[in-house]
A and B are shown apart, each in its own frame.
Chain A
Amino acid sequence: MIRVLIVDDEPIARRGIRHQLRSEADLEVVGESGDGAAAIEAITELAPDLVFLDIQMPEVGGFDVVEAIGIARMPAVVFVTAYDEHALRAFDVHAVDYVLKPIDRHRFRTAVERARRRLAHAPGQLDRQFDRRIAAALGELGRPAHDYAKRLAIKGDGRVILVDVDEVDRLEAAGNYVEVHSGARHHLVRETMASLEGRLDPARFVRVSRSSIVNADRVRELQPMFNGDFAVVLRDGTKVSGSRRYRAAFDMLTR
């Protein structure tokens, strides 16, 4: 079964995709999102295999979603758009799948068939090839995408803030939430530590304990302790305690 997520800010357009999928027995719609931020949440929580992703959406568009998830973590994507000259040209050049609204059902079948073939292969060689195509198309559109999240979408008060991961100093678990500390400000993200960690580049964001991840660039000092625990001092003076169970992080940071 291929698990599908539909992302579009117009409910009617989502119903249109759903209708097209009715005749595909092996595709199951596991969720719908009405905006980019909800899509990021849904992709991390539901881990769908395939996403139909609208490009133009309020606040966080389809490309922002790819940027926030990171190419390597992104499920297979079929972009959906009513009209976007530039994007279509880039998609054509790099053979990225897309469908136009109103939806041509033959074209839709072709896109689904291609996604199906792609997903039939074990993740690996072929997968990376598709990732590279999307990365190339986005790069051409001035939206270079990376394997890992470039920005985090933080939702609150009916608005979404996009925080560049370069500006993040550290992350702290707080129940079902994660506090993202960036300079003097901190934001709450409704996501588990594990799923957020999965989207961040492990070479830059290092887990030092069950509840803390630090940005390696911000580490000023490491203080080992007798029992194998350690403390990490960031450039702004913040002290984060590291657990001996994450000793590998200590080694990595001292390397």
Chain B
Amino acid sequence: MNAVGRALIIAAGWTLCGVLLAAQAHVSAAMRGEPIGWVRPLAIWLAWAWIWALLTPAILRLTARYPFGRARALRSLLVHAAGSVVAVLLNLALFALVAPLVGATSAAGSWSATFLRLLGSTFLLDLPAYWLLVIVAETTRLSRLEGQFAEARLLALKAQLQPHFLFNALNTVSVLMREDPDAADDVLVGLSALLRKTLDSSAKHEVPLREELELVEAYLEIERVRFSNRFAYRIDAAGEALDAPVPPLILQPLVENAIRHGIARRIAAGRIEIAAARRNGRLQLTVRDDGPGVAAGARDGIGLSNTRARLQQQYGARHTFALASHRDGGTLVSLEIPA
């Protein structure tokens, strides 16, 4: 959605709130036998609503920056506790400015008198407005995350079952069966393991890095037999990194890319290096090949753009993702997520 669309939705939402509350004020005044008409309640409540509308983009940004994921939920809670107080105070301060103009009952002789009166009468009533915004933002984010996750799962499944990969692997089995039944067996077992792991992990939200690396290794082993060891690979992950939770199938598309662009397209032998390190609450993952590197102006394929989108949704500003030619040749993909 573009910025204008977002602004329109925010304005419309708050206008609706303002109109509803004004209607409530109108009706309750009429029932008390002190009719107030429409102009004054509308002016008051729309002023209140639109001040909130002005503050909303900042609140949404703050929520994107400090979401309520599993990691750092306490920090987010503290940030938003402070954020809600500041937002309400700002709201009241601004409302105190316009209160005399719209004929609010809270309007007193001076701005500060009005502000203090508002603080006493509505501070706690205003707090939920902030939290409702945070809840809406978080639920939208989570449902979007869900959708992207489903898409990634489908893509990864398709990648495993990529017809070209699958039929070539089966052809490898068909030939090895005659020459070396044990080797044929290994490929079949590897292929089954790969399919099983893909099916398993695609049902989960997070898997330990260990599992993701096992899946990647099963994939690499099959490709290595197919390419008759035309490439070597190394997986370098220390013990504490192996337990770190990662989104399932986050590495597989990156490794597949490395094979497709770094290894399969060239004739000379290649090398793929995968590394994981966990320090200071961050998990750093890198996939490097020694192929031709990133062509200038190259665009992300489906796999890569999906990985980017998933990271953005799940971690927001708390992740980094970079794909570039390495200065010593080849392509280096590096990503860092909270762990």
Contacts and interface: CB of A to CB of B under 8 A. Distances in A.
Interface stretch (A99-107, A166-174, A218-226): A99-107
Contacts of B172: 10, 12-13
A202 interface: no
Interface string A80-95: 0011100000000000
Which of B166, B175, B265, B268 has the most chain A CB within a 10 Å cutoff?
B175
Contact of B168 (A10, A37, A58): A10
A15 B173 CA distance: 12
Interface in B163-177: 163-164, 166-168, 170-176
A82 B174 contact: no
B175 to A, nearest CB: 4
A148 to B, nearest CB: 26
Contacts of A13: 168, 171-172, 175
Interface of B: 163-164, 166-168, 170-176, 178-179, 225-228, 264-268, 292
A66 B133 CA distance: 63
Nearest to A101: B171
Nearest to B228: A11
Contact of A102 (B167, B226, B267, B292): B167
A58 B265 contact: yes
Contacts of B264: 58
A35 B267 contact: yes
B266 A12 contact: no
A59 B266 contact: yes
Contacts of B228: 10-12
A158 B175 CA distance: 28
Interface string A11-27: 11101100100000000
A56 interface: yes
Interface residues of A, number: 24
Nearest to A160: B267
Mostly helix, strand, loop or mixed at chain B's interface? helix
B231 to A, nearest CB: 12
A114 interface: no
A12 B225 contact: yes
Nearest to B267: A35
A34 B268 CA distance: 11
Contacts of A12: 171-172, 175-176, 225-226, 228
A128 to B, nearest CB: 33
A159 B167 CA distance: 27
A252 B292 CA distance: 44
B164 A83 contact: yes
B250 to A, nearest CB: 26
Contact of B265 (A37, A59, A103): A59
Nearest to A80: B171
Given A56-B164, A82-B163, A16 B265 contact: no
Nearest to A84: B164
B325 to A, nearest CB: 16
Nearest to B266: A58
B167 A10 contact: no
A75 to B, nearest CB: 23
Which of A12, A16, A56 has the most chain B CB within a 10 Å cutoff?
A12
A45 B7 CA distance: 70
A148 B26 CA distance: 88
Nearest to B184: A12
A83 B164 CA distance: 5
A103 B171 contact: yes
A9 B153 CA distance: 30
B265 A102 contact: no
Contacts of B292: 159
Nearest to A18: B175
Contacts of B176: 12
Contacts of B267: 34-35, 37, 58-59, 158-160
B167 A100 contact: yes
14 contacts: A10-B227, A12-B225, A13-B172, A15-B175, A15-B179, A16-B175, A19-B178, A34-B267, A58-B266, A59-B266, A83-B163, A102-B170, A102-B173, A159-B267
Interface string A112-130: 0000000000000000000
A10 B266 CA distance: 13
A19 B178 CA distance: 9
Given A10-B168, A12-B228, A19 B175 contact: yes
Given A12-B225, A35-B267, A82 B175 contact: no
Given A12-B228, A84-B164, A102-B170, 8 more contacts: A10-B226, A11-B228, A15-B179, A58-B267, A82-B167, A82-B168, A101-B168, A102-B174
